[in-house]
Amino acid sequence: MRTPMRASLWTPLVVTLVCGLTLALGYLNKARCAGVPYDEQGRSLVFDRLKDSSVCYSDIQFLWLGRSINDHVFPYISGGINGTGGLVGGTVEYPVLSGLLMWIGAIGSHTDAAFLLHSALILTPFALATAWMLGRLSGWPALLWSAGPPLVLYAFHNWELPVVAAATAGIFVVLAYDAVPLRTRAVLAAVLFAIGVCLKIYPGAFVLPLMAYVLTGGVGGRELPPSVSGRYDVKGALAVAGAAVATTVAINLPFAILGREGWLASFAFQSDRQADVTTNSVWYWGIRPLFGSVDGPGSAYADFVSFASPLLVIASFALAVWLGWRRYLREGTYPWVAVSGAMLCGFLLLHKVHSPQYTLWLIPFLVLLRVPWTLVGAYLIADLSLGIGVFRFFAALGAGEDASTEEFAVQFGVWGRAVLLLVFFVLFLRADLRGYRRGRHEAVPEPVIAEAAKSTA
């Protein structure tokens, strides 16, 4: 009979191997849009013909042109934003580490197909690392990440895999290495979250609940350092915040100094982006009709979204942190992973842009937190409806065909995901970690419970 330790090592290994197979399918799906013949700039001629109708579009292949990636221009340093809102001179619309990965992927590439392949090779280790960490933390539920449809659809759609790995790694170091002092684990997690900020921003939100977890002494309040005489570790919480800020500044500072205009342009581009038909948000499909058909820059609709969206996102963050604090007062442990997941749900629901690949951000929390599998399955169905339907919708519109069926699929996906994000916001804040059972004051790993039962039998 296998020992528990052997079983715990085999599970993440299998999960990681399955992830590799799924990534291969994901690449083959996107590669259908790439290949000979090419135009003079290295663009696959088949791309424009198939990208929407065959659902093989990827931002990676699309952005081969238009951001000087094909010219191998180092990002941000000589870039900027022009009068029409377009990015020029190597600036891309993502934080600096994502831009750096894009530049590295273009090294040695002279066509969009080569850029897609090289980018996939760069991104793959991040997906595999995420699979292994989730397998170590949650066991077989990690197959949701490794074998689920989202990885096929979105693994190589954009540059999401590194940020998901950074966010998961931050959670992993706090949960998996509990023999290490909490302050040390939390500071390292804050650094990882800050690296995530420099990839795709969203992990920065997780620093606040992590600070609350350190402030309150971790599990049951029993991880306070001996030097803390009171109830709260204020110094530890501030160290977490300081590590996150220092890391973010250190990564961004060289770009801000050497290419200030290009560096700022990436933020300006995202700030100016409109909640239009390409953003798949509740704002476009739910709020826009209330303002009529005008939705361009400077319209009443655009101004309302620019004000209301960030305000409501911040409000959702504050609500999640507060509800987490109430749970801490009842149970003795601040549920920082649950609060982080709820904050992400608030962002995905209320931000003006909700790209299909953002599902990859959410999957680790669906793996880590105990929520009903029926709801997880329902979310995947809604995600499939949007992830496939939106491109078929664009194809029908582009061909001048009736797009009512495709529009229904998009709206089903948009509203299905919106409702479930609201449900997950509530459920996450009440959920325990998978692989853990709640004791009187703490979350106890199930293998520990099993070993204790054997010793008392």
Q: pLDDT grade, residue 4 (50/70/90)?
A: very low
CA distances from 20 to 9, 140, 164, 207 (A): 17, 16, 16, 30
Q: What is the pLDDT of residue 436?
A: 58
Q: pLDDT grade, residue 444 (50/70/90)?
A: very low
∠ Cα 85 89 95 (to 5°): 75
Helices (H) and strands (E) in the chain, counts: 19, 4
Count the Cβ atoms, other than its own, within 10 Å of residue 21: 11
CA–CA dist 113, 117 (Å, integer): 6
436: left (phi over 0), alpha (psi -120 to 50) or beta: beta
> pLDDT by residue (tens digit) across 307-320?
999 999 999 999 99
Whether 251 and 199 have beta carbons less than 8 Å apart is answered as no
The answer to which of 31-35, 41-45, 277-281 has the lowest mean pLDDT is 277-281
Peptide bond into 37 cis (omega under 30): yes
Q: Is the pLDDT of residue 5 over 70?
A: no
Tokens of 115: 């850029």
CA–CA dist 98, 13 (Å, integer): 28
The answer to which of 115-119, 264-268, 270-274, 405-409 has the lowest mean pLDDT is 270-274
Q: Is the pLDDT of residue 439 over 70?
A: no
Q: pLDDT grade, residue 275 (50/70/90)?
A: confident
Q: What are phi and psi of 438, to 5 degrees?
A: -80, 125
**Per-position DSSP letters for 71-103, written without gaps between them:** TTPPTTTT-EE-TTS-EETT--SS-HHHHHHHH
Identify the helix (H) or strand (E) that includes residue 437. Answer: strand 436-438
> pLDDT by residue (tens digit) across 321-347?
999 999 999 999 999 999 999 999 999
**Per-position DSSP letters for 228-272, written without gaps between them:** --SS--HHHHHHHHHHHHHHHHHHHHHHHHH-HHHHHHHHHHHHH
Q: What is the pLDDT of residue 452?
A: 34
CA–CA dist 99, 90 (Å, integer): 9
Q: What is the pLDDT of residue 132?
A: 96
Q: Is the pLDDT of residue 451 over 70?
A: no
Mean pLDDT of the chain: 91
CA–CA dist 404, 402 (Å, integer): 6
Q: Is the pLDDT of residue 164 over 60?
A: yes
Q: What is the pLDDT of residue 273?
A: 87
Q: pLDDT grade, residue 84 (50/70/90)?
A: confident
- What percent of the chain shows pLDDT beyond 70? 92
Q: What are phi and psi of 445, to 5 degrees?
A: -60, 135
Q: Where are the domains of the chain?
A: 274-352+371-430
Q: Is the pLDDT of residue 91 over 70?
A: yes
> pLDDT by residue (tens digit) across 215-226?
999 999 999 999
